[in-house]
Amino acid sequence: MSLKIALAQINFLVGNIPANVDHMVDAAIIARDELQADIIVFPELSITGYPAEDLLLRSDFISAANNAIYQLGDRVADIAMVVGFPEQDGDALYNSAVVLHQGVILACYRKQALPNYGVFDEQRYFTPGHQPCVFEFNGTFIGLTICEDVWKSGIIEASQQAGAELLLTLNASPFNSGKIHQREAIICQQVHAAKIPLVYVNQVGGQDELIFDGASFVVDAQGEIVFRAEEFKEQISVIEFEGSTPIKAQCAPLYNEISSEYQALVLGIKDYVRKNGFQGALLGLSGGIDSALVLALAVDALGADKVEVVLMPSRYTQDMSNEDALLQAKVLGVNHHIIPIEPAVNAFTDMLADVFSGAAKDTTEENIQARCRGVVLMALSNKQGKLLLTTGNKSEMSVGYATLYGDMAGGFAPIKDVPKLLVYQLAKYRNSLSEVIPERVITRPPSAELAPDQVDADSLPPYEILDPILERYIELDQSAETIIAAGFNVADVRRAISLVDRNEYKRRQSPPGIRITEKAFGRDRRYPITSGYKGIL
Amino acid sequence: MSLKIALAQINFLVGNIPANVDHMVDAAIIARDELQADIIVFPELSITGYPAEDLLLRSDFISAANNAIYQLGDRVADIAMVVGFPEQDGDALYNSAVVLHQGVILACYRKQALPNYGVFDEQRYFTPGHQPCVFEFNGTFIGLTICEDVWKSGIIEASQQAGAELLLTLNASPFNSGKIHQREAIICQQVHAAKIPLVYVNQVGGQDELIFDGASFVVDAQGEIVFRAEEFKEQISVIEFEGSTPIKAQCAPLYNEISSEYQALVLGIKDYVRKNGFQGALLGLSGGIDSALVLALAVDALGADKVEVVLMPSRYTQDMSNEDALLQAKVLGVNHHIIPIEPAVNAFTDMLADVFSGAAKDTTEENIQARCRGVVLMALSNKQGKLLLTTGNKSEMSVGYATLYGDMAGGFAPIKDVPKLLVYQLAKYRNSLSEVIPERVITRPPSAELAPDQVDADSLPPYEILDPILERYIELDQSAETIIAAGFNVADVRRAISLVDRNEYKRRQSPPGIRITEKAFGRDRRYPITSGYKGIL
């Protein structure tokens, strides 16, 4: 008996239940009428989008989500729909998947494994289920599972013991660099051990810090991938099964790592702007590598007509910075303004002269320059309804090499989880497609240009040393002892770690940005500001 | 047989294990030598302080905490110490309490009920225990429990079934208004039902957003409170038991609600400044009620010599604002500066003239003023190492009536969880002790003074209407329908809710502040920024 299953890799808007239902109706009709699918499988919690966070604590929101299931069921006939929703039962809330067919609920499964680590807080909201769920459809026995369930041992097997010949898995599995390989390897291994075919449907799209990469797939009972949907794109695909055996189809190739990272950043900007209703984006273009990369990403995400840049030179800005910034604006065809900050800096200097008389110059004066730029950029953002993008990278966020309310001012921080060395790699990668970043921006030594002849290397270890230390300390939670034992210089380790430790307060006020590593500064690294912990003495 | 138990209501520094151990050693010696105690009970996770958040995911930190238990045991003899620590056992981490006596571990209990709601994330870190723990000491059988355990039914009873005649409970129970009554009522009711005396030891102090209020207590088997320590202060007390029966002692009186709230705010400022090593605090003093209250709180917390204010008048500042601000600075004896913002505002206006030519004035121009003040205040903060306090209240944070990087610029937001009406009550309460806020500041209509003759009531419903709507929507998660059914005007509800919904992005970048309600904008309200949820259409 043949069965056609559609994988609905969809980009939802968290919280907008009516729009998500409409989106699912459209997808189901396409799957039924154009793809002749018998079943369409949507991602985890598709009704609400994922993660809906504390919206899940609102009874009005949960009622709406539960009612929407019935509305959806009534709106589409002649195709079975497998839909994720937060199921209210008495006082308990479950992360559930329901099978709707001809306006009737055929089956309902409650997620058993609720992740509560990293970026996940599912035990804050949900009660775990304890039962497998298998339903018969056109003679095939199909089991339901949700995301984390298939990463754990035992749940697939329990589903098989309950009679499942084929598994459908609803997912909201966020991207980080390398995640797709890890995800496919683990699922294939589980399937290989259990010998049951599996349909894996992931959502796609940017949601605040998180990027969902899609890349839905189908695995046969031998653990071989027989279909893969594209990464970072909405796609409704259909796979034919003979009984429970999937027929091999076209697999989208995997992007390589750098290309995946670039696409994730583009999608993150695009969705933050679109879903939050901005008219476009703007940023300060300094002639340095960070803002150059952010501009390239923004143009790839939004188109040149939606992006605007501002050059804000000061007395410390080198000519080549202005030249390179202008050149890039021209190459990319974006609108630009030149607004020197000297008048505002002078005004503040005069206003503070009495209070500061006798005090030595220090970073205060550098911060004033950065904050004058912040005021200019925010004024443009406010006036035009454009999203201000900040341009700080992860290395800077880690060590606090950024000015609060200055270059940290903005609504979204696209590269805040991109270490500096990766900024260079991404810039080179983008230039390999077409040259949009002037070569000199990539080759000159990095500088904040807030003091005469300043370069980053004056205050920080070289990025070739700093970045690996930061990765070990932040992403891998390694101790100073371990890092030093791995061959790093004690002074460099001390400098890096002590800066990370004492700059939590800055990170706490930074705008959200796109997570591309295993541990970003956001919901996956929750450190106290007030802290006596010293990673190194 | 007589037994003396000391309650160590201590203010720890999260993450500073060596300092916390020293603090416990000192307390144990006082309890033993001055109070003749046989046992001293410390709060939950006393070794690390609470909450240590993701420091608990660092293996170096956990190793240090586990080693510290042995060091502590070796440093104090002749008194039993009941200490909270994160216990590593293989791959599992437990929230545990250990009894140390003569360098030996007499007993170890693993917390069973791990809260994962509101401000709590304990299931992120800990594995639950499943066993009661009872140890014999001088002929008395004593059971151990930790915080949430005694709020749930069944755990006290299981401890009794295992032989406990007396319970020790280690706690880190955060303050919110009215919490002390709720806490005592629930524990007394549990004890009354189970008929077992209970010693409740809470930590005290400010930790980022959270205030721990202390108010440790002892309940007899009838559920009567026979001892209460003071609120908001460190205190080592001793209670004598005949067998398992506590002998009645002096109960510290409870503050009334407004007084508790005021004390909580004072302690929050004091501990944030002290624990983060600032030289003092500074704030912009506008002549309005919010900054007047924050100044009074800061002086009560730090002393007048550690607090500095800046008046930053513009063309829209009324004379009475300057007069009242100066008067308050004088009454409280704090250092003040007057720095008019006009030169900087003019500089930005000129710099932006070309770009803005033809555009109508809007909030952009108001924001520039607020941001010029932010630059001035941050320059002073940077130069002097003083903490900049922001002065926005919860009503403003809710509806976004504040300027990012303007009046929202600063390291700590003392009244961000204080609704506007409560700001007035707290000001009047403080003046009832001694008049430190000029009367006119309390009686004049509130205004942001960013445009000619502006008052808050131009843009917002009156606070008498706004505040109750906000409480229902934010703290109680009520739907618009429910709020309207309670008698509020549809237009007011729509205005309030739609502003709350679309200002999450501002709140996300605001500095931390002191939680005094059941739901603050912080770890207890985790909303997505990108969201299609509309609380009202």
Query: What token pair was written down for A453?
Result: 């002849």
pLDDT at residue A511 is higher than 80: yes
Query: What token pair was written down for B197?
Result: 């005396």
Measured CA to CA, the distance from residue A205 to residue A209 in angstroms comes to 11
Closest by Cα among B54, B418, B109, B152 to B261: B418
* Distance of residue B407 Cα from the nearest chain A Cα, in angstroms: 11
Q: Under an 8 A CB cutoff, do A479 and B58 touch?
A: yes
Please report the pLDDT score of residue B537 as a whole number.
81
Question: CB neighbours (10 Å) of residue A153?
Answer: 10
Q: Are residues B213 and B279 in the same domain?
A: no
Domain stops at, among A415, A431, A456: A456
Question: CB neighbours (10 Å) of residue B188?
Answer: 19
pLDDT at residue B18 is higher than 90: yes
Q: Are residues B320 and B201 in the same domain?
A: no
Nearest residue in chain A measured CA to CA from B525: A54
Assigned domain for B214 exists: yes
Nearest residue in chain A measured CA to CA from B524: A54
CA distances A85 to A79, A97, A200, A448, B371, Å, are 18, 6, 17, 48, 43
Measured CA to CA, the distance from residue B240 to residue B1 in angstroms comes to 10
Domain stops at, among A254, A284, A308: A254
- The model's pLDDT over B447-483, given as tens digits with 9 standing for 90+, comes to 989 888 888 888 899 999 999 999 999 999 999 999 9
Which residue type sits at B210? L
In our burial notation (b when 16+ CB lie closer than 10 A, e otherwise), range B346-377 reads ebbeebbeebbeeeeeeebbbbbbbbbbbbbb
What is the ipTM, given to two decimal places? 0.96
Q: Are strands B307-311 and B281-284 parallel, antiparallel or unpaired?
A: parallel
Report helix, strand or coil for B368. Answer: helix
Chain A residues closer than 8 Å to B59 by CB: 477, 479
Q: Are residues A175 and A313 in the same domain?
A: no
The structure tokens 């704030």 sit at B283
Q: Under an 8 A CB cutoff, do A276 and B529 touch?
A: yes
Chain B residues closer than 8 Å to A359 by CB: 383
- Three-state secondary structure string covering B187-255: HHHHHHHHCCCEEEEECEEEECCEEEEECCEEECCCCCEEEECCECCCEEEEEEEECCEECCCCECCCC
State the best of A273, A361, A405 to mutate against chain B, taking most chain B CBs within 10 Å: A405
Beta strands in A56-147 (DSSP E): 80-89, 92-101, 104-110, 134-137, 140-146
Pick from A344, A404, A533: which is nearest to B344 by CB? A344
* Distance of residue A63 Cα from the nearest chain B Cα, in angstroms: 11
Measured CA to CA, the distance from residue B271 to residue B266 in angstroms comes to 9
Residue A94, beta-bridge partner list: A87
Residue B141 φ then ψ, to 5°: -95, 115
Percent of chain A clearing pLDDT 70 (strictly above): 100
Q: Under an 8 A CB cutoff, do B376 and A348 touch?
A: yes
Percent of chain A clearing pLDDT 90 (strictly above): 96
Please report the pLDDT score of residue B457 as a whole number.
85
Please report the pLDDT score of residue B57 as a whole number.
97
Angle at CA of residue B131, ends B130 and B132, nearest 5°: 135
Q: Are strands A134-137 and A335-338 parallel, antiparallel or unpaired?
A: unpaired
Q: Are residues B264 and B238 in the same domain?
A: no
Supply the CATH number for residue A314's domain. Answer: 3.40.50.620
Assigned domain for B483 exists: no
Q: Under an 8 A CB cutoff, do A364 and B374 touch?
A: no
Domain stops at, among A456, A489, A519: A456
- The model's pLDDT over A310-319, given as tens digits with 9 standing for 90+, comes to 999 999 999 9
State which residues form the domain around A245. 2-254
Q: Are residues B349 and B224 in the same domain?
A: no
Angle at CA of residue B435, ends B433 and B441, nearest 5°: 125
Report helix, strand or coil for A320. Answer: helix
Q: Under an 8 A CB cutoff, do A529 and B405 touch?
A: no
Assigned domain for B480 exists: no
Measured CA to CA, the distance from residue B44 to residue B61 in angstroms comes to 17
- The model's pLDDT over B215-227, given as tens digits with 9 standing for 90+, comes to 999 999 999 999 9
Chain A residues closer than 8 Å to B531 by CB: 13-16, 55
Radius of gyration of chain A (CA): 26
Nearest residue in chain B measured CA to CA from A383: B364
Pick from B343, B359, B368: which is nearest to A351 by CB? B343
The structure tokens 């989500």 sit at A65
Q: Are residues A194 and A273 in the same domain?
A: no
Angle at CA of residue B383, ends B377 and B389, nearest 5°: 35
Chain A residues closer than 8 Å to B57 by CB: 477
Chain A residues closer than 8 Å to B479 by CB: 58-60
Residue A248 has what DSSP assignment? P
One DSSP character per residue, B270-321 reads: HHHHHHTT-S-EEEE--SSHHHHHHHHHHHHHH-GGGEEEEE---TT--HHH
pLDDT at residue B264 is higher than 90: yes
- The model's pLDDT over A10-44, given as tens digits with 9 standing for 90+, comes to 999 999 999 999 999 999 999 999 999 999 999 99
* Distance of residue A130 Cα from the nearest chain B Cα, in angstroms: 19
Assigned domain for A466 exists: no
Pick from B121, B378, B482: which is nearest to A405 by CB? B378
Measured CA to CA, the distance from residue B290 to residue B513 in angstroms comes to 14
Residue A254 has what DSSP assignment? P
Chain B residues closer than 8 Å to A535 by CB: 60
pLDDT band at B254 (very low <50, low <70, confident <90, very high): confident
Query: What token pair was written down for B418?
Result: 């204080």
Residue B256 has what DSSP assignment? P
Closest by Cα among A219, A317, A55 to B527: A55
Query: What token pair was written down for A31?
Result: 């799957």
Query: What average pLDDT does this structure show over B342-368?
Result: 97
pLDDT at residue B1 is higher than 80: no
Q: Are residues B289 and B390 in the same domain?
A: yes
Closest by Cα among A495, A496, A504 to A525: A504
* Distance of residue A462 Cα from the nearest chain B Cα, in angstroms: 26
Query: What token pair was written down for B254?
Result: 């409870």
Measured CA to CA, the distance from residue A95 to residue B276 in angstroms comes to 41
Q: What is the crossing angle of helices A363-384 and B363-384, to 10°? A: 170
Assigned domain for A278 exists: yes
One DSSP character per residue, A333-371 reads: T-EEEE---HHHHHHHHHHHHHHHTTPPP-HHHHHHHHH
Q: Are strands B134-137 and B140-146 parallel, antiparallel or unpaired?
A: antiparallel
Q: Are residues A241 and A321 in the same domain?
A: no
Pick from B52, B341, B530: which is nearest to A276 by CB? B530
Report helix, strand or coil for B333. Answer: coil
pLDDT band at B409 (very low <50, low <70, confident <90, very high): very high
Measured CA to CA, the distance from residue B69 to residue B105 in angstroms comes to 9
The structure tokens 């034992």 sit at A485
The number of domains in chain B is 2
Contact present, B167 and B150 (Cβ < 8 Å): yes
Supply the CATH number for residue B109's domain. Answer: 3.60.110.10
Query: What token pair was written down for A205?
Result: 């799209």
Pick from B116, B382, B527: which is nearest to A53 by CB? B527
Which residues of B form the catalytic set?
44, 111, 147
Percent of chain B clearing pLDDT 70 (strictly above): 100
Nearest residue in chain B measured CA to CA from A509: B509
Q: Are residues A213 and A291 in the same domain?
A: no
Q: Under an 8 A CB cutoff, do B404 and A511 touch?
A: no
- The model's pLDDT over B311-320, given as tens digits with 9 standing for 90+, comes to 999 999 999 9
Q: Are residues A312 and A401 in the same domain?
A: yes
Chain B residues closer than 8 Å to A350 by CB: 343
Nearest residue in chain B measured CA to CA from A502: B276
- The model's pLDDT over A330-374, given as tens digits with 9 standing for 90+, comes to 999 999 999 999 999 999 999 999 999 999 999 999 999 999 999
Which residues of A form the catalytic set?
44, 111, 147
Measured CA to CA, the distance from residue B384 to residue B293 in angstroms comes to 23
Measured CA to CA, the distance from residue B109 to residue B87 in angstroms comes to 10
Chain A residues closer than 8 Å to B525 by CB: 54
Q: How many residues does chain B have?
A: 537
Q: How many residues does chain A have?
A: 537
Contact present, A343 and B319 (Cβ < 8 Å): no
pLDDT at residue A1 is higher than 80: no
Assigned domain for B529 exists: no
pLDDT band at B21 (very low <50, low <70, confident <90, very high): very high
- The model's pLDDT over A263-322, given as tens digits with 9 standing for 90+, comes to 999 999 999 999 999 999 999 999 999 999 999 999 999 999 999 999 999 999 999 999
Nearest residue in chain B measured CA to CA from A523: B526
- The model's pLDDT over A392-429, given as tens digits with 9 standing for 90+, comes to 999 999 999 999 999 999 999 999 999 999 999 999 99
Measured over all CA atoms, what is the biggest interatomic distance in chain A, rounded to whole angstroms? 88
Contact present, B169 and B198 (Cβ < 8 Å): yes
**Interface A-B: count of C-beta contacts within 8 A:** 238
In our burial notation (b when 16+ CB lie closer than 10 A, e otherwise), range B54-90 reads bbbbbebbbebbbebbeebbebbeebbbbbbbbbeee
Pick from A354, A378, A512: which is nearest to B371 by CB? A378
CB-count burial class (<10 Å; 0-12, 13-18, 19+) for A458: exposed
Closest by Cα among B116, B320, B534 to A16: B534
pTM for the whole structure: 0.97
Q: Are residues B307 and B334 in the same domain?
A: yes
Angle at CA of residue B126, ends A184 and A171, nearest 5°: 25
Assigned domain for B238 exists: yes
Q: Are residues B268 and B358 in the same domain?
A: yes
CA distances A433 to A296, A303, A436, Å, are 12, 16, 9
Assigned domain for B275 exists: yes
Phi-psi region of A163 (alpha: psi -120 to 50; beta: other; left: phi over 0): left
What is the separation, in whole angstroms, between the first and last Cα of chain A? 68
pLDDT band at B494 (very low <50, low <70, confident <90, very high): very high
